[in-house]
Amino acid sequence: MRFPKVNWRRILYALVCLGVLCLAVNYFGCVPAKQYKTALQTTEHHPGSTPTNTVLETSSDYTLGFVEFDDQGWLWNPQQVTTLTNRLYAEQDTNGLLIVVFVHGWMHDASPEDENVVMFRKKILRPLATMETFLSEKQHRPTRRVVGVYVGWRGLCQNVPLLNLLTFWDRKSAAERVGHGAVVELLCELEKLRNQGNGQHRGQIANHQRMSTKLLIIGHSFGGDVVYSAVAPILTERMIENVNAAGEAQAPKTMGDLVVLINPAFEAARFETVYRLGTTSQYPPGQHCTLAIFTSKSDMATKIAFPIARTVYTTFVQSHRDSEERAANQTAIGHYNPYISFDLAIHNKDRAKDEDIAKSGERVLALTEQLKNASSKSNEDRTYRFTHCQLEPRTNHVRNDPVFLVSVDPNIIPDHGSIDRGVFTRFLAEFLSLLSETDR
């Protein structure tokens, strides 16, 4: 058998061109690595307020803090965490808290004008605060203070169109370094704050004089990679150690109260251990969601671009024992069919309006009762009907599996970055409120 002659000159020329292109990507339109929130103080924020460089913002609805990380996963300034946690400990003395951490993804950062910063305020924190007010009045209980924690990292390092697409491998690698770095410290500090507050006020919580503090963690795109890199070892340990001293199965524990990933950009192969533990471990009756992953069926970034980029990389530098492992290593988690256990379908396309919050609140209360009674053998109590969407289990869903891997209708999330559409943000507010209503 004769092999074709290799034209090494052409290969060398191609490599030189690729190197020049990479240098161009790093030079032209490069967004410098920098800290955006440099003032360790608090400002009041109102709609239309001028953006500031302060670490803390307060409004009538919520408190928002910023914590930033560099490309190696180091804190830009540890005092950001201290400033944030000092404020939260003070607020927790008088109120239960609903803490929501958001880690942005590719092509975003913590700059004041970033679209994700604006979205976090308007589309996540404000609706949650409105929902919390409604639920507290309906249930005749104290209202928890909603607190947002925006985790900034250098997801945007190149602002020239098309050239910025070539930062995929660099930013994916950076996301994993950030997730293995001080983000773990931040999440553990927030969980410690939650646990201490709930322990200190246990009597008041038991007597319904105050609500327990909840910690919800959200990651989008490569921010989902950041979050998963940080919490996967913790989730694995807690899923294994879900028995008491007598060997009896306990409800599964998560990091905080719930981890949510939206259109996450990491490979399914890294999910195998968590998936296997979720489907094979013994958990008591009831639905205890610890990790929920939502990916749009029409997310072309993770459906098409991601596997192409992964195939180019893994073909040359990684080996696989079989085709199944190769497919899992080249496919984004939300598009790997063997692991998908739920579908999120739309059933009401009406535009979500602020005045519909009462309808959403009633849905949350009804679903809370459904969760408490989710112990029958049928699938009916595992289908959750929200105001605009319905969460339906697939036939491969294992009862009491605490991990929800959800394929989302394009009418709910149309593409990779459009996670701020009204139907989805209303669903997210209802889903987060539902899970924060359940004591663990």
Encode the chain in three state secondary structure.
Answer: CCCCCCCHHHHHHHHHHHHHHHHHHHHCCECCCCCCCCEEEEEECCCCCCCCCEEEEECCCEEEEEEEECCCCCECCCHHHHHHHHHHHHHHCCCCEEEEEEECCCCCCCCCCCHHHHHHHHHHHHHHHHHHHHHHHHHCCCCCEEEEEEEECCCCCECCCCHHHHHHHHHHHHHHHHHCCCHHHHHHHHHHHHHHHHHHCHHHHHCCCCCCCEEEEEEECHHHHHHHHHHHHHHHHHHHCCECCCCCECCCCCCCCEEEEECCCCEHHHHHHHHHHHHHCCCCCCCCCCEEEEEECCCHHHHHHHHHHHHHHHHHHCCCCCHHHHHHHHCEHHHCHHHCCEEEEECCCCCCCHHHHHHHHHHHHHHHHHHHCCCCCCCHHHCEECCCEEEEECCCCCCCCCEEEEEECCCCCCCCCCCCCHHHHHHHHHHHHHHHHCCC
Give the per-residue pLDDT at 369: 84
CA distance 436 to 48: 30
Give the per-residue pLDDT at 98: 95
pLDDT tens readout for residues 206-243: 878 888 999 999 999 999 999 999 999 999 999 998 88
Would you say residue 165 has pLDDT above 90? no
Give the per-residue pLDDT at 79: 97
Give the per-residue pLDDT at 76: 95
pLDDT tens readout for residues 123-145: 999 999 999 999 999 988 999 99
Joined tokens for residue 6: 């290799």
Of 26 and 85, the structure prediction assigns the larger pLDDT to 85
302 and 143 Cβ atoms separated by less than 8 Å: no
pTM recorded for the entire structure:
0.89
Give the per-residue pLDDT at 372: 76
Q: Within a 10 A sphere around the Cβ of 318, how many other Cβ atoms?
A: 13
- Average pLDDT, rounded, for the chain: 87
Would you say residue 362 has pLDDT above 80? yes
% of the chain residues with pLDDT over 90: 57
Of 63 and 4, the structure prediction assigns the larger pLDDT to 63
The stretch 279-284 carries a mean pLDDT of: 86
pLDDT tens readout for residues 366-393: 988 887 776 555 555 678 999 999 999 9
Give the per-residue pLDDT at 159: 66
Q: What is the CA radius of gyration of the chain?
A: 22
Give the per-residue pLDDT at 2: 54
96 and 212 Cβ atoms separated by less than 8 Å: yes
In the block, tokens 């139907």 appear at: 423
Would you say residue 3 has pLDDT above 50? no
Per-range mean pLDDT, top range of 209-223, 301-315, 345-359 = 209-223
Would you say residue 406 has pLDDT above 80? yes
Give the per-residue pLDDT at 337: 95
Would you say residue 23 has pLDDT above 80? no
CA distance 302 to 296: 9
139 and 433 Cβ atoms separated by less than 8 Å: no
The stretch 332-341 carries a mean pLDDT of: 96
Would you say residue 42 has pLDDT above 80? yes
Residue 321 burial class via C-beta count within 10 angstroms: exposed 0-12, middle 13-18, buried 19 and up: exposed
* Biggest distance spanned by C-alpha atoms of the chain: 83
Q: Which of 37-46, 150-159, 340-349, 398-407 is predicted least confidently?
A: 150-159
Picking from 124, 35, 179, the residue whose alpha carbon sits closest to that of residue 421 is 124
CA distance 65 to 54: 9
Picking from 151, 148, 170, 167, the residue whose alpha carbon sits closest to that of residue 159 is 167
**Long-range pairs, 351-359, Cβ under 8 A, ≥24:** 351/422, 352/387, 352/388, 352/422, 352/423, 352/425, 352/426, 353/422, 354/130, 356/387, 356/426, 357/127, 357/130, 357/131, 357/134, 358/134, 359/387
Of 25 and 58, the structure prediction assigns the larger pLDDT to 58
Instruction: pLDDT band for 155, please (50, 70, 90 cuts).
Output: confident
Instruction: pLDDT band for 28, please (50, 70, 90 cuts).
Output: very low
pLDDT tens readout for residues 65-115: 999 999 999 999 999 999 999 999 999 998 999 999 999 998 889 998 899
